[in-house]
Amino acid sequence: MNNKFKLRKTNQFLWRNIAIVAGTFSFIICMLVLVNYIQINRIDPVNTELINSLVQRLEENPNDNQLREQIREMDLLVRKAYFTNQWQVKAGGYLLLLGVIVTAIALQMFYAGKQKLPEVTESEQENIVLFKEKARKWIGLGGFGLVAITLLIAFLTHKELGNQFTQAALVAQSTPEETSDNVEVIEPVKEVAKEESVEKEEPVVEKTAEVVKKEEPKNQETIVAEKKQEVAEKKEPEVKKEAPVKKVADNASYPTKEMMANFPAFRGAGGQGVSYQKNIPTDWDGASGKNVLWKVQVPIHAYNSPVIWGDKLFLSGANATQREVYCYDRNNGKLLWTAKVEGIAGSPAKSPEVTPDTGHAASTVTTDGKSIFAIFANGDIIALDFNGKQKWAKNLGVPDNHYGHSSSLLVYQDKLIVQYDHKKDAKVLALSTANGDELWSTKRKVRVSWSSPVIAQIGENTELILAADPCVASYDVNTGKELWKLDCITGEVGPSVTVGNGIVYALNEYASLVAIKPGANPEVLWEAYDYLSDVPSPVISGDNLIIVTSYGAVVCYDAKSGEISWEQEFGSGFYASPIVANGNVYLLDRDGVMHIFKADKEYQEIAAPALGEKSDMTPAFADGRVYIRGEKHLYCIGK
């Protein structure tokens, strides 16, 4: 009996100590989260006044490179603070919940053991039971209170940082109001002969070379070196044995020659960032009107890019109360028609909240040469004929997206492809281009994304490839069946993938750049961490992989090995994606300057013509001309 009593005493002592440790741990975690919240409210990580003053100083001293670097470092600090805080608050909530559970269990076991001790009088027994009931009550209330406080703080912290991040974006984009005529024709336009405009040569898919071990990045040397070593040991023998990839036949289903002769979607045919046009101009000046054939003011501002089919150019615009699709004569800038998107069944009475740097019409429209398709932030999607008459329209459900929906549309044969990654129900679906009926829909276990789909010919397969945290995934474009998936990407994914030489390249800020060998068992061929993008998508030309960052760095990687060929810093950041056209890369910065350089192993600048207006939109190309949507105007650049 004495031994049993000692054992119970020992167990009781052990559970008491566990309760004390777990309770103390929970209290400390709660205080840390609370202090984190107070600190964020006292010290604004996105000090807009300071950023404004620095930007103002830079405008007064545009050659002050030290000040420019200071602004970039502050922007990087803001983004790091945003994602780091999200992780800290989320981890703190889980740790606190775990601590409360352990404390409750330990206290329960402690009082249970105490109740079983011998030689307890009836009155003491009643006191123990009463005390036990009170303890349970206060433990429950205390645990619930701690969890509730932490969750509330987590919500307020996340919301506050999101608001601050949005305000910083507003500051970066704010520009003085300007006035202009509705249409301004700079000079008469003559149509360029089409037989000179389209490249005759089809892109050739080359054989994949063996993986070459790349140089270690400047940070995380040990971790990255180990990863590279593992990749080299596991992948290199397999790549050496790989058979050459077959050249895509001239009659390949995607993209068709008709699509390649036009510019039917965001980043061109298939969303791959390539224009198959020749005689593209490299010299213009928006301020003086040099080589600006015409410009026209767009009725409603939006961040989507122009698409072109034949002599027609299409855009969309929207705000909280209006949604419109525009058709222009691309030869003279005349607005041919405006289609108002309204009265759609299921459309919400109130538009969802979106951030100003995304807006209500961030998704670029697409066309199959017969119809034009547009989607908006409230989930409305519409098909119009080339005369602006509605063919069909429906609402896909309001996307639960804290910035706003921005994934652009693609057409494959008779299917309209919609990437619909949002919080409530992430999926990719295909609608009939003829009547809008759902042909297939595939659920995706991913988080919210802002990237756009890409359709590419890989070997004999035409694949639909999407990127969103945590994976890059490929689907059969005809059935929606998942072909392969690889967990290799994290965060709030904005850039789309690019495909070249049978390899898929994906990246995101605070994640990594990965080169993926697709197939039933996809593999990472190489990985890099130095330069990553949060908005612009990458592009590939031959063996040159061009990576663009929003803060102004542009890097060329060897697409086969992952070695950096060159890196270049620019004075302004980038939101527009680069486009390869006629052997050059066309990259529009946020100030409206088009940086044109060779898509080659060495950086060679061709020109840097200025639009004279800020822009975050990706350009379109047709018949020896460049079409650019600025902050207020649509421009046609030609010779």
Q: How far is the C-alpha of 115 from the C-alpha of 337, rounded, in Å?
A: 83
Nearest to 637 by CA among 245, 142, 286, 309: 286
Handedness of CA 262, 264, 267, 271 (dihedral sign): negative
On whether the pTM is more than 0.95, the answer is no
DSSP state of 295: E
Q: How far is the C-alpha of 500 from the C-alpha of 162, rounded, in Å?
A: 36
Tell me, what's the pLDDT at 181? Answer: 42
Tell me, what's the pLDDT at 248? Answer: 38
The mean pLDDT value for 589-602 works out to 97
End-to-end C-alpha distance for the chain, whole angstroms: 103
Tell me, what's the pLDDT at 164? Answer: 46
Q: Are 466 and 452 in contact (CB under 8 A)?
A: no
Give the angle subtended at the CA of 251 by the CAs of 249 and 254, to the nearest 5°: 90
Task: Give the pLDDT confidence of 317-372 residue by residue, as tens digits.
Answer: 999 999 999 999 999 999 999 999 999 999 999 999 999 999 999 999 999 999 99
Q: How confident is the model at residue 78 (pLDDT cuts 50, 70, 90)?
A: low
Does the pLDDT at position 376 exceed 70?
Answer: yes
Tell me, what's the pLDDT at 367? Answer: 98
Tell me, what's the pLDDT at 18? Answer: 85
The mean pLDDT value for 210-222 works out to 40
The mean pLDDT value for 450-470 works out to 95
Task: Give the pLDDT confidence of 529-581 residue by residue, as tens digits.
Answer: 999 999 999 999 999 999 999 999 999 999 999 999 999 999 999 999 999 99
Task: Give the pLDDT confidence of 60-75 residue by residue, as tens digits.
Answer: 676 676 676 676 666 5
Q: How far is the C-alpha of 206 from the C-alpha of 244, rounded, in Å?
A: 8
Does the pLDDT at position 112 exceed 90?
Answer: no
Backbone angles phi, psi at 73, to 5 degrees: -65, -35
Tell me, what's the pLDDT at 189? Answer: 38
The mean pLDDT value for 154-179 works out to 45
Task: Give the pLDDT confidence of 484-521 residue by residue, as tens digits.
Answer: 999 999 999 999 999 999 999 999 998 999 999 999 99
303 Cα distance to chain centroid: 14
Q: How far is the C-alpha of 132 from the C-alpha of 39, rounded, in Å?
A: 39
The mean pLDDT value for 277-291 works out to 95
Does the pLDDT at position 34 exceed 90?
Answer: no
The mean pLDDT value for 158-164 works out to 47
Q: How confident is the model at residue 235 (pLDDT cuts 50, 70, 90)?
A: very low
pLDDT over 70 percentage in the chain: 68
Tell me, what's the pLDDT at 199? Answer: 42
Q: What is the helix (H) or strand (E) element at residue 165, kind and residue range? A: helix 122-173
The mean pLDDT value for 169-189 works out to 43
Distances (CA, A) of 179 to 296, 422, 573, 632: 12, 38, 25, 9
Average pLDDT of the chain is 80
Q: How far is the C-alpha of 403 from the C-alpha of 354, rounded, in Å?
A: 5
Backbone angles phi, psi at 467, to 5 degrees: -125, 130
Name beta bridge partners: 597.
Answer: 585, 605
Q: How confident is the model at residue 214 (pLDDT cuts 50, 70, 90)?
A: very low
